[in-house]
Amino acid sequence: MERLDYAFGVVAADPDTGLIFCDENHRGVSFGFTDTVVHSGVLLICRLMRCHDSRRMAQLHEMVGHDHTSRHHKSVAKKPFPCASPFLW
């Protein structure tokens, strides 16, 4: 679980909104066919994927009894669009 938590935390995300961002210091690539393009700014699709992953991480931590960490991941998943969550998942 430690490696998963580390990998999840590597991404540069705005602590208030959870949006993934890239700039000159935190260069990033997106996904799919644009993975050779260096992006800057906010990456919405990556944030949607992080939201999905947060939910899965919460489930994994719940299964092994890490309730505090599970609650943290659930809060990360709800940050940007709590009202849209039922439509996306």
Higher confidence at residue 84 or residue 38? 38
CA distance 63 to 19: 27
Whether 87 is covered by a domain: the verdict is no
Q: How many domains does the chain have?
A: 1
Whether 59 is covered by a domain: the verdict is yes
**Rg of the chain's alpha carbons, rounded to an integer?**
14
Q: Are 19 and 41 in contact (CB under 8 A)?
A: no
Whether 88 is covered by a domain: the verdict is no
Q: Which of 60, 59, 52 is nearest to 78 (CA)?
A: 52
pLDDT at 80: 60
21: three-class secondary structure by DSSP:
strand
pLDDT at 48: 83
For 1-89, list the strands marked E by DSSP. Answer: 20-22, 28-29, 38-39, 41-43
Whether 89 is covered by a domain: the verdict is no
Whether 40 is covered by a domain: the verdict is yes
Whether 86 is covered by a domain: the verdict is no
Token pair 């996904």 in the structure block, residue? 31
Q: Which of 24, 23, 28 is nearest to 50 (CA)?
A: 28
Domain containing 44 equals: 2-80
Whether 62 is covered by a domain: the verdict is yes
Whether 85 is covered by a domain: the verdict is no
pTM of the model: 0.71
